Each structure stands twice: as structure tokens, then as C-alpha cells.
């Protein structure tokens, strides 16, 4: 793991925010530098063990999806054409950032996570078991763990700070937070992106069970897709040939790490436990498989 990047340090740029995975730096009045590290968070806790290559894989997947979404759905995003060497001219400082860093537009992030679910798993399954609903949306009775939903649903959540937990909210709360028209715009965009990606991934043997998007707005109020898009960090990717309703499927995402952590005597609060080398390596292999399947021959 000698080349893994757990935390970036760029003394010539102002650190704006250090998130669970990404470090954000101010470049100028119009741009930020977003560095995707090899940190991994599980149960909203950043773990001390990096996943080698993870940041570069997430960056490649996000760029792929953002350009595809803009091309096919005409939804703009935060990407720019500014090269990294223009912002980080020193080759020695730039080297560990190559492939994991993007110069992006400065946008105002909306304070909600735009979650879309096509299958019943995770916190949605827990909500359904207690109420028969997910985020206030009634679902048919008798669904099993990992059941495919009759149609994809928009199930937003709060955007928690590092160390805090996201919480599911209903659509009315989104309306109260960002207004009715903006809430509808976010919901419709998220559902459209999910539907496009779901069909594309299915052709490559991947079920996208659920995912979360983030959106921001520019000075004119135009909605943009931001942060990360349809990565193994923000989505559940299941191999279609191993999917069986009623049990938690194998995955190409960090569910492998969650499953390992569930075997430990850990209360899911910081600090998180170290991961054994084989767990880190297997996680990296799953991320790489997702990258290859999604972007090969694209």
C-alpha cells in the first residue's frame, strides 16, 4: 500500500473541505481542485486503512458517467477542461495526484443526498420491515430482502458531516429544505440518471441496486451533477448472474467491507478498525471489476 493516498497535503492551495473520501481545495474564484483519496468510509466512519488505487478508479468511473449523463440526458456537471498541471505545476507534488484529481467548477452544493433505489436493501429494507414504507413511500407487502421494486423510487437522505450518519427523509422534507420546484427537479434528474445507468449496466452484467447523487447549482440557478457518480462507493453493484432475492448478494462495491465489519465487536463509531490486507485487496479487486465492466469498449 506504499502508493496509497490516505490524505492529500497541498501547502500552496487552501483546503476548503476534507470529506470522507475527497479533499477539496480552492484554486481561484471559479474553480476548485477535487482530490479523491484512497480513504474508505463504512457506516459513515472513515477507516484508517486505505484501499490502493481506489481514488483513481472512482475518478475514472465518475468522469465516465458524468460525460455520458451530459451527452445522453443533457444534465450539466462540474467538470472543466482545466488540466491538473495548470494548477499543480510542480511534477513532484503533482505525481501522487495524477488520475485522482479534477479541476472542477465552483458550485453551491444542495444539502440533500438524492438516493434512488431499484431494489430493497440496506436502510431501505430496515425501514420496510418496520413500516412497509421507505422514506414515506408505501411498498407492496411480502417483499424479500434484495427484492426488485415495482419501479425505482426516490428516497432522499440528509447530507451528514464526517463522523455523523445520513438519515432517510421523505420528499416533503426535501421540499421544505430546497423548495418545491428544485426538489422536483432533483428527483426527476436522479430518477432519469438511474434509469439510464441501470439499463447500461445491465448490458454488462451489473445490477445497480441503488445509488446516491449529489447536485449543485451555479450563479444562474442551473442544476449540475457534482461530487461522484455511480461509483462503488455511492452505489450497490451486484453481479447479475449471482443475484437471488431473499439474500444479500455478492457485490462489486464496499458491501464486502461492511460485511467484514459486521463480524467484529465494533459499535460503528469512530475510530474505525484497521482492515486486514486481504480485505483491502479484495475490495480493490471488486472496484476494479466494476470499472472494467462499466467502461470497457464504451
Residue range 27-55, pLDDT digits in tens: 999 999 999 999 999 988 999 999 999 99
Q: Write phi, then psi, for 208 (nearest 5 degrees).
A: -95, 100
Task: Show the cell assigned to 119.
Answer: 431494489
Q: How many CA atoms lie within 13 A of 294 on its CB side?
A: 31
Looking at the predicted structure, is the pLDDT value of residue 10 above 80?
A: yes
Biggest CA-to-CA distance, the chain? 60
Structure confidence at residue 142 (pLDDT)? 95
Residue 180 lies in a domain: yes
Residues near 278 by Cβ (< 8 Å), separated by ≥ 6? none
Q: How confident is the model at residue 194 (pLDDT cuts 50, 70, 90)?
A: very high
CB 162, CB 18: distance < 8 Å: yes
Structure confidence at residue 3 (pLDDT)? 81
Residue 261 lies in a domain: no
- How far apart are the C-alpha atoms of 19 and 35, rounded to whole Å? 10
Please state the pTM of the whole predicted model. 0.93
- How far apart are the C-alpha atoms of 183 and 80, rounded to whole Å? 26
Residues near 226 by Cβ (< 8 Å), separated by ≥ 6? 77, 78, 104, 107, 109, 214, 215, 216
Structure confidence at residue 62 (pLDDT)? 98
- Tens of pLDDT, residue by residue over 267-286, are 999 999 999 999 999 999 99
Chain length of the chain: 298
Q: How confident is the model at residue 236 (pLDDT cuts 50, 70, 90)?
A: very high
Closest to 87 in 3D by CA, of 172, 166, 143, 25:
25
Residue 208 lies in a domain: yes
Q: How high is the mean pLDDT of the chain?
A: 94
- Tens of pLDDT, residue by residue over 256-266, are 898 899 999 99
Instruction: Please confirm whether the linkage preceding 271 is cis (ω < 30° from 0).
Output: yes
- How far apart are the C-alpha atoms of 235 and 148, rounded to whole Å? 15
Higher pLDDT, 218 or 159: 218
Residue 169 lies in a domain: yes
Looking at the predicted structure, is the pLDDT value of residue 112 above 90?
A: yes
Q: How many domains does the chain have?
A: 1
Structure confidence at residue 164 (pLDDT)? 57
Looking at the predicted structure, is the pLDDT value of residue 248 above 70?
A: yes
Residue 225 lies in a domain: yes
Residue 50, Ramachandran bin (φ over 0: left; ψ between -120 and 50: alpha; else beta): beta
Residue 155 lies in a domain: yes
Residue 74 lies in a domain: no
CATH of the domain at 176: 3.30.470.20
Q: Which residue in the block uniquely carries the three cell numbers 505525481?
A: 95
Q: Which domain holds residue 148?
A: 108-253
- SS3 at position 26: strand
- Tens of pLDDT, residue by residue over 149-190, are 999 999 999 876 555 567 888 999 999 999 999 999 999 999
Residue 55 lies in a domain: no
- How far apart are the C-alpha atoms of 225 and 79, rounded to whole Å? 9
Residues near 136 by Cβ (< 8 Å), separated by ≥ 6? 170, 171, 172
Beta bridge partners of 238: 207
Q: Tell me what percent of the residues of the chain surpass a pLDDT of 70.
A: 97
- Tens of pLDDT, residue by residue over 49-101, are 999 999 999 999 999 999 999 999 999 999 999 999 999 999 999 999 999 99
Residue 135, Ramachandran bin (φ over 0: left; ψ between -120 and 50: alpha; else beta): left
Higher pLDDT, 2 or 230: 230
Structure confidence at residue 2 (pLDDT)? 52
Amino acid at each position: 500500500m506504499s502508493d496509497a493516498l490516505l490524505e492529500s497535503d497541498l501547502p500552496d492551495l487552501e483546503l476548503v473541505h476534507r470529506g470522507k473520501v475527497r479533499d477539496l481545495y480552492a484554486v481561484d474564484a471559479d474553480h476548485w481542485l477535487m482530490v479523491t483519496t484512497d480513504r474508505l468510509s463504512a457506516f459513515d466512519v472513515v477507516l484508517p486503512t486505505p484501499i490502493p488505487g481506489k481514488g483513481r478508479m472512482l475518478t475514472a468511473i465518475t468522469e465516465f458517467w458524468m460525460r455520458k449523463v451530459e451527452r445522453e440526458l443533457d444534465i450539466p456537471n462540474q467538470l472543466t477542461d482545466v488540466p491538473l498541471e495548470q494548477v499543480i505545476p510542480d511534477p513532484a507534488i503533482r505525481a501522487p495526484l495524477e488520475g485522482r484529481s479534477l479541476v472542477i467548477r465552483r458550485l453551491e452544493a444542495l444539502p440533500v443526498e438524492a438516493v434512488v433505489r431499484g431494489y430493497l436493501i440496506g436502510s431501505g429494507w430496515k425501514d420496510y420491515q418496520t413500516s412497509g414504507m421507505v422514506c414515506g413511500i408505501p411498498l407492496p407487502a411480502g417483499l424479500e430482502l434484495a427484492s426488485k421494486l415495482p419501479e425505482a423510487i426516490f428516497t432522499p437522505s440528509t447530507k451528514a458531516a464526517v463522523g455523523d450518519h445520513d438519515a432517510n427523509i421523505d420528499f416533503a422534507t426535501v421540499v421544505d429544505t430546497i423548495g418545491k420546484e428544485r426538489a422536483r427537479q432533483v428527483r426527476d434528474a436522479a430518477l432519469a440518471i438511474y434509469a439510464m445507468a441501470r439499463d447500461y449496466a445491465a448490458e454488462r452484467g451489473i445490477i445497480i441496486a441503488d445509488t446516491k447523487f449529489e447536485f449543485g447549482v451555479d450563479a444562474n440557478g442551473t442544476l449540475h451533477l457534482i461530487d461522484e457518480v455511480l461509483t462503488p462507493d455511492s452505489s450497490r453493484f451486484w453481479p447479475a448472474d449471482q443475484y437471488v432475492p431473499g439474500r444479500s448478494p455478492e457485490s462489486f462495491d464496499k458491501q464486502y467491507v461492511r460485511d467484514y465489519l459486521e463480524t467484529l465487536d465494533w459499535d460503528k463509531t469512530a475510530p474505525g478498525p484497521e482492515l486486514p490486507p486481504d480485505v483491502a485487496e479484495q475490495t480493490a479487486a471488486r472496484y476494479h471489476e466494476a470499472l472494467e465492466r462499466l467502461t470497457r469498449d464504451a
